[in-house]
Structure 1
C-alpha cells in the first residue's frame, strides 16, 4: 500500500511544478510633474466722494499681492481700463459717468503709477510708451498702485446732471 501513496504524491508534485513554470513581466512607468504656481490679488482704487474740486485733488492707493515661489520670475501689467483715456497723452485712464459719459463729457482722467528707485513710473502693460510698462520681480511681493486724478470734464451730454458715480475697471495681469 505504501507504493501507491508515494506515486500519488509524486504525480501531485509534478502538476504543481507545471502550474508555476511560466512567467510574464510588464513594466509600470512612474512619473510626476511639478509646475510653478502663482497667485494674484488686487485691491480697489477708490478716490472717494466730494465736489469737483475735491475729486481733482484726490489720490488713492491699492495693494497688488503676488505670491510665487522664490525662483519664479513674473511681471504684473495693468491694461488701459474700459475707456479710451489710456490712449490719450500721459497714459491717463478715464472714469466715465454712470450715464455713459465720453471723453470730454462726464469723465475724470487719472493715472496709475508705481514707485521704483524713488522715481514714480506710469504702470501699464507695455503696449503704449505713455501708459507705461509692467512691473517685474520674482517670488512674493506686495506692490502698491498709486492713482492720481488729473482732470475732469463735467459737460454731460444733453445737459444732464453730472453728479453721480464715475467708474472704470482695470484688468491686472500676472505673467510668469
Structure 2
C-alpha cells in the first residue's frame, strides 16, 4: 500500500509540474505617453577686434578688423556700428582723437571696395545675417583718407558694435 501511495504521489507531482510548466502565463499590458519638451531660446553674442592702421604719413591707409558673431541656429540679426567717441564724429566720418589733441578722420565699410558705409541704421547701412550656431566672422574694412594734416601723437577711437536680433 505504501508503494501505491508512493506512486500516486509521484504521479500527482509530475502531473502538477506538467500543468504548471505547460500552462501559459497570462499577462496584461497598458500603454501611456510621456511628453518630452525643450525650448531653445534665441541668443547672440558679439565681439569686435582691433583695427590697427599703423603709421599715418598723409597717404591713404586701408586696414581691416573682425567682428565675431555667435547666434543660435536660424536667428536673424543685424550688426550696426556707431559713430565712435570722437567729438563731432558721424557714422560717415568717424574721428580718431590724438593723445596731444587733434583728430584724424577715418571711415568703416561693409565691403572690400570700401563703398558701403557701415553705420547703425537698420535696413540702411548695417550688416544682416542669420546665425548657424557657429562663430561667423564679419570683416570690417577701414580707411584713413589721404591729405590730412593731424598733430603728431597716438590716435584712438572706440566704436560700439550693436547686434540686434
> Which of 61, 65, 70 is the matching residue for 2:68?
65
| Contact kept in structure 1, 2:110 and 2:141, CA below 8 Å | yes
RMSD: 2.6
Match for 2:47 among 41, 44, 65? 41
| Structure 1: distance between partners of 2:84 and 2:114 | 23
1:32-86 deviation per Cα after TM superposition (whole angstroms, max 9, x unaligned): 6541121211111110125x32xx3211101111111221000100000002443
Q: Highest CA radius of gyration, 1 or 2?
A: 2
TM-score (norm 2): 0.66
Q: Please tell me whether the aligned partners of residues 81 and 170 of structure 1 are also in contact (alpha carbons under 8 angstroms).
A: yes
Matched, 1:163 2:164: no
Count, aligned residues: 125
TM-score calculated relative to the size of structure 1: 0.62
- For 1:148 and 1:35, how far apart are their aligned partners in 2? 38
Whole-Å separation in 1 of the counterparts to 2:114 and 2:87: 26
How far residue 119 of structure 1 moved from its aligned partner, in angstroms, is: 7.4
For 2:130 and 2:39, the matched residues in 1 are separated by 21
* Residue-by-residue CA offset, 1:67-118 (whole Å, 9 max, x unaligned): 112210001000000024433xx8110111113x3xxxx21100000129x7
1:133 aligned residue (125, 138, 141): 125
Q: Paired residue for 2:108?
A: 112
- Note the residue ranges of structure 2 that are not aligned, 5 or more in a row: 1-35
Q: Which residue of 2 aligns with 1:145?
A: 140
